[in-house]
Structure 1
Amino acid sequence: MGEASLKKRKGEDNKKEDGQSIQSHEPQTMSLQKEVGLISGICMIVGTIIGSGIFVSPKSVLANVGAVGPCLTMWAACGILATLGALCFAELGTMITKSGGEYPYLMEAFGPIPAFLFSWTSLLVTKPSSFAIICLSFAEYTLAPFYPGCDPPQVAIKCLAAAAIGKTENFKDSYKDSSVSFGSIGLAFYNGLWAYDGWNQLNYITEELKNPYRNLPLSIIIGIPLVTVCYVLINISYFTVMTSTELLQSRAVAVTFGNRVLYPASWIVPLFVAFSTIGSANGTCFTAGRLVYVAGREGHMLKLLSYISVKRLTPAPAIIFYGIIAIIYIIPGDIETLINYCSFAIWIFYGLTVLGLIVMRFTRKDLNRPVKIPTIIPVAVTLASILLILAPVISAPELAYLYCVLFIGSGLIVYVLFVYFKFNWPQKISKPITMHLQMLLEVAPAEEVTE
């Protein structure tokens, strides 16, 4: 959850050495501070999106479509879909100015059950697996320079020539030998959109945005097209110095690219990839922790997860819990498998959230909408979500997709027991555990502030 900022109560009098009071401060309520401006918002979006995806997904996208032309088209299409989805979230974020991303929007549109299922799935599947993918990518690229034998060495002259001239042979007949099908397009979109994942991250910290009605949509409009242009150009750079076969055979695409273009200083590439991934991991941890915090605050997760460090003013329990779950995903972690099944679950809730925007156009006409996008945009994103969910299931059905749906459904059991019927652990067990954890982590509940 990152930098959850709170104001501490300060009611102590400042006194001189002789004991006389010279000044007293009025108590200040504990509340989230609005410290994220436009530049910070753009940096949050761009920094969180550009992480591991662009260094991991190119191989998978190319493998699913089979040729350079469809591959570049797919990257541009993913950018367009991410932009349209983010515009939907811009309307939602300025209409419902609460932190937590999809959580408050689903709560407002459909009630507590879909919101709980989202928090249940995000807390235990999508957010920690996303964090695990980024960390696995960081480890892979950080270790790549120390294992040069994994990639065949390139002749320095050839590398420098490629950098100076720029090869265009790889773009000839760029649609030849493509293998496009309904299922392959869906999986290609999964991997491409994974590289764009993060387009909705600013909605997780809406309560900390300065002037969210202006800065949220502006950050989206500026940030995501910027990333789209970068991604298309990066893929063009890859194909300029590598054939499709070479790119598919590369264990670390960016490292191979660096070896070809920057041979004497190729170590710079994995270094900057490591910086990029660790920065994205930081942003992901920031926003995911906010979701855990909000869910705990609403009573959909353990109350302790909504407590905040009295020293660092961050939701430490939520971040620690989130990190523990992510480590579990790293142990058996296979990046491509995690991306496919994580994306499947993510787009179920993306589609449901955008559908909620359409529903609230009719059910919540009273809500103020500082940003209102054309109805065709949320309709298109909802339809695209349905296609993305169905494409891999229909073309290449696997039990893992069924397990994912069953896990989401299992959240209903948890909801009925612990939220609806409010089943609590015996006080003799839960109370001392909460008390000791609160003392160990030095955390306390945030004070609710009514505007």
Structure 2
Amino acid sequence: MIGSGLFSSPALCGALCYAELGTMLPMNGGETPGSLAIICIVFGEYVSRIAYHTYFFNIPHDSDDAVELADAIIPKFLPKLLAVICLFILTFINAISVQAGIRVQDLLTAIKVLTAIVISITGIVVLSKREPIYGDSSIQGDPFHGIGSISYGQIALAFYSDLPRVIIFGIPLVVFCYMLSNVAYLAVLRPEVVMHSNTVSMDFGKKIFGPSGGILFAVCVALSCFGSANASVFTGARIIYVSAKQGHIPGLFGKLSQSRQTPILALLLQAALTVIMIMIGSFRVLVNFYSLTAWM
């Protein structure tokens, strides 16, 4: 759930519906993971900034020119190249075995939760000083606005057997982490920076812990994106597999590997389609396209 997007879709009620469907229909499949290309590109963006940190990590965290300078310095092909590499690695991992994909997901989930906890605790410490770091005496705006529409995640149903219990306890936990994280951002950074920055976590880490903190948080967010992409790879291939089984696409993609029991051909088809979207679309174009089709 953490790392798949903030304030984007109904949370608890929708997740409970997913739990009901998951227990009633214990079959392969899931929600259409159209965001896979977007997540891979975000991964590429963060890794690019880590690679070129010597150029822009010394820029003031709230500089209005930071994004433009980063875009000018980082080669335009690099984020897309890294996105494709990320996709190929995850496709290979999920083709090896189901357990390999699950183990990777568990590890990355632990890293994401730990990062959220660090951000939340840091925000609490800052607020306890009664004066936000950016110099204003109050947190402007409404940092709690929208907490009723936090993402329920695309992969929750894939890795748990006791779905109702996991969702009932998991959703409030994620809401709490998201809420504290946003309060922490607004306590440390100016609201304008939070609204306009593409790398809020990196700005947060750099403001609190210096350039090294910015790099560390950029790595954590990149790993978060890697985990979200892994979730989409896992579910997406099984949607293709089930579609082939039901005759919607050629039956060739509805076969499992006899030795590994994974939908290798479905994984390869998904990878090919995702590479096309990565190559021809920018982050903003893909977000607009996915946002439209996801709600249709």
TM-score (norm. length: structure 2): 0.66
Q: Which secondary structure does the structure 1 equivalent of 2:60 belong to?
A: coil
Q: Distance in 2 between matches of 1:341 and 1:167?
A: 41
Which residue of 1 is the match for residue 14 of structure 2?
A: 85
Which residue, out of 171, 174, 199, partners 2:141?
174
Note the alpha carbon deviations across 1:243-279, whole angstroms, 9 max, x for none: 1212234341111111101215312111111211111
Q: Larger radius of gyration, structure 1 or 2?
A: 1
**Higher RCO (CA < 8 A, seq sep 6+):** 2
Q: Does 1:270 align with 2:177?
A: no
Matches of 2:292 and 2:130, distance apart in 1: 38
Q: Deviation digits for residues 375-395 of structure 1, max 9, x if unmatched?
A: xxxxxxxxxxxxxxxxxxxxx
Per-residue Cα deviation, 1:26-82 (whole angstroms, up to 9, x for no partner) = xxxxxxxxxxxxxxxxxxxxxxx222535xxxxxxxxxxxxxxxxxxxx4xx67x21
Q: Check the 8 A contact 1:162/1:260 in 2, yes or no.
A: no
The residue number in structure 2 matching 1:229 is 176
The 1-side partners of 2:37 and 2:168 are apart by 28
After superposition, the Cα gap between the structure-2 partners of 1:335 and 1:229, relative to the gap in structure 1 and judged at 3 Å, is farther
In structure 2, which of residues 28, 44, 51 is the aligned counterpart of residue 146 of structure 1? 51
> What is the deviation of 1:202?
4.2
Secondary structure of the corresponding residue to residue 312 of structure 1: coil
Partner deviation per Cα, 1:173-211 (whole Å, 9 max, x = no partner): 525xxxxxxxxx9xx89xx96x72525x344x4xx865x
Quote how far apart the aligned CAs of 1:163 are.
9.3
TM-score after normalising by structure 1: 0.45
After TM superposition, give the deviation of residue 101 of structure 1 in Å.
2.9
User: Partner of 1:51 in structure 2?
Assistant: 3
Q: In structure 1, list runs of 5 or more residues that go unmatched.
A: 1-48, 55-74, 103-121, 176-184, 349-451
Moved more, 141-150 or 248-257: 141-150
- Residue identity over aligned pairs, in percent, reads 34
Aligned length: 227
Aligned to 2:153: 198
Question: Is the 8 Å Cα contact of residues 52 and 137 (structure 1) preserved in structure 2?
Answer: no
Partners of 1:171 and 1:239 within 8 A in 2: no
Q: Given the superposition, is the C-alpha separation of residues 272 and 292 from structure 1 closer, same or farther in structure 2, using an over 3 Å criterion?
A: same
2: CA distance, partners of 1:241 / 1:334: 30
Contact 1:52 1:138 in 2 (8 A): no
Matched, 1:135 2:40: yes
Letter in 2 for 1:198: G
Extract unaligned runs of 5+ from structure 2: 63-121
Give how far 1:327 is off: 1.0
2:38 partner letter: I
RMSD over equivalenced CA pairs, Å: 3.3
Distance 2:203 2:194 in 1: 8
